[in-house]
Amino acid sequence: MAVPGRGSTAASESGRVLEKRRVVVTGLGAVTPLGNTKEAYWEGLITGRSGVAPITAFDAAKLSTRIAAEVKDFDSDALIGRRDARRMDRYAQFALVAAREAMADAAFPEDADVRARTGAVVASGIGGIITVERTTIEAGTNETWDRISPFFVPMLMSNAASAHISMNYGLRGPVFAVASACASGNDALAVAYDKIVMGEAIAIVTGGSEATVIPTAMGGFCSMKAMSTRNDDPAHASRPFDKERDGFVLGEGAGIMVVEDRDFAIARGARIYAELLGYGQAADAYHIAQPDPESKGVTLAMERALLRSGVAPEQVGYVNAHGTSTPLGDLAESQAIERVFGEHATSGKLAVSSTKSMHGHLLGAAGAIEGIATVLALHHGILPPTTNYEVPDPECRLDYVPNVARKAQVEIAASNGFGFGGHNTTVIFGRHD
């Protein structure tokens, strides 16, 4: 199959470059608390189904938060094979299964030349923490530090997910991990965009994966008092932008996209879900865990995303918000959206929703599965709701698509991702005819 070369750009007869390479989304794969395929995930979103329930992975009786959004019915032995699955942390298993669906969905060519120009950039905020916890407990309890598995380090690495995808599909382009806390998934999309625009790859398998529903991670977040303690009503615990929100709900899973050079995708007859128009990044430079109350970094990230994408604020019809259900975070994001979009937002012309109300907060994978939700919203002309929105917060004054999905043919949408450390990244997608 012919692969566009590094000099492949649109040009006039005089040879002047008229436009940069364009990037499109051709494949989607998901492993989520709402289902383990993109179809099941989307059905859960548009029906407002909750994936939050009491924790089953371990006995959480001693914790202040005993609920989470776990991935259900995931049989790694059946999906990956017992031998290979035992050599991978759960987060990498999620990523590989989601990538398998995305590659099949894209009908991605097996041509060796194409795959030599295809990379894998998969984010994880924490990586193989299950492997770290399990090994530390076992070796410490039994004093067997000299008998730790030789697969311990390869399993805990944050780059293991992208490496396994590369090895399974023979991808020899740029392959690495991105780690920027809860902005990681969005940053992976940003890196993938750049690699294609700059001609370093013809396609990138990208997204994020996380698996942290374990005692140490839950205990750490409980100590920070960051999570909801609505244990008696898990389905209604995550309530972004609602006045009675009391913290986020931890989730797990993976979201993977195949993004390609647009000319290449069209030439091979690929089905195109949406176009990745650009991104913006900015830091709070404020606090390791708390959002900047003036939301300067969040504002800059959205402004820079619009500028890079060549999009005016009034052209954006939907924002998939970071919306974690924390008191300070949701307020800061709402105020930043008002600041960036002005009357377009406050008049109700801009729809904003947080799908974390249904699938919880997937940390480093959040931006990946929320990016998929944004792409599917453009593709299907349906905006997923913010569920559990019952008591409006007078300080959060936007249209949050409350409780019920809405039919709306939006042309351009943004997806926000913000993380501990003050990392802020917004990606912008456009509907593709």
Domain finish residue from 237, 267, 297? 267
Within 10 angstroms of residue 167's Cβ, the number of other Cβ atoms is 12
Residue 7 has a pLDDT of 38
Distance CA 429, CA 217 (A): 33
Active site residues: 182, 322, 361
- Among 192, 246, 410, 225, residue whose Cα is nearest residue 320: 410
Asked if residue 155 lies in contact with residue 129, where contact means CB atoms within 8 angstroms, the answer is no
In angstroms, rounded to a whole number, what is the distance separating the alpha carbons of residues 379 and 335? 28
Residue 31 lies in a domain: yes
Task: Give the total number of structural domains in the chain.
Answer: 2
pLDDT of residue 433: 77
Measured CA distances, 327 to 284, 310, 396 (Å) = 18, 33, 11
Shared domain for 310 and 256, answered yes or no, is no
| Residue 350 to residue 331: CA distance in whole angstroms | 17
Q: Are residues 53 and 156 in the same domain?
A: yes
Q: Are 345 and 318 in contact (CB under 8 A)?
A: no
Q: How far is CA 79 from CA 75, 146, 151, in A?
A: 6, 32, 20
Structural domain contains residue 180:
yes
243 and 293 together in one domain: no
Q: Considering the domain boundaries, does residue 5 fall inside one? A: no
- Asked if residue 367 and residue 263 are part of one domain, the reply reads no
Mean pLDDT by 10 residues, the chain (433 residues): 46 48 98 98 98 98 98 97 96 98 98 98 97 95 93 96 98 98 98 98 98 98 97 98 98 98 98 98 95 95 98 98 97 97 96 98 98 98 98 97 98 97 97 89
Q: Specify whether 70 is located in the same domain as 194.
A: yes
Q: What is the pLDDT of residue 20?
A: 82
Q: Domain residues for 325?
A: 281-431
**How do residues 351-360 score in pLDDT, each as one tens digit?**
999 999 999 9
Would you say 413 and 318 are in contact if contact means Cβ atoms under 8 Å apart?
Answer: yes
**What does the alpha-carbon distance between residue 327 and residue 329 come to, in Å, rounded to a whole number?**
6
Residues 253 and 295 in one domain: no
Q: What is the pLDDT of residues 208-258, one digit of tens each?
A: 999 999 999 999 999 999 999 999 999 999 999 999 999 999 999 999 999
- The residue among 240, 267, 294 that closes a domain is 267
Radius of gyration for the alpha carbons in the chain, expressed in angstroms and rounded? 21
Question: Would the pTM count as exceeding 0.85?
Answer: yes
381 and 416 in a single domain? The answer is yes
> CATH code at 200?
3.40.47.10
**pLDDT at position 6:** 36
Structure tokens at 127: 């990586």
Residue 118's DSSP bridge partners are 203
From 238, 267, 296, give the residue that closes a domain: 267
257 and 309 co-located in one domain: no
Residues 247 and 302 in one domain: no
Q: Per-residue b/e over 216-229, b at no fewer than 16 CB within 10 Å?
A: ebbeebbeeebbbe
Does residue 276 lie in a domain region? no
Residues 186 and 43 in one domain: yes
Please tell me the predicted confidence (pLDDT) of residue 10: 42
Q: What is the 3-state secondary structure (H, E, C) of 248-291?
A: ECEECEEEEEEEEEHHHHHHCCCCCCEEEEEEEEEECCCCCCCC
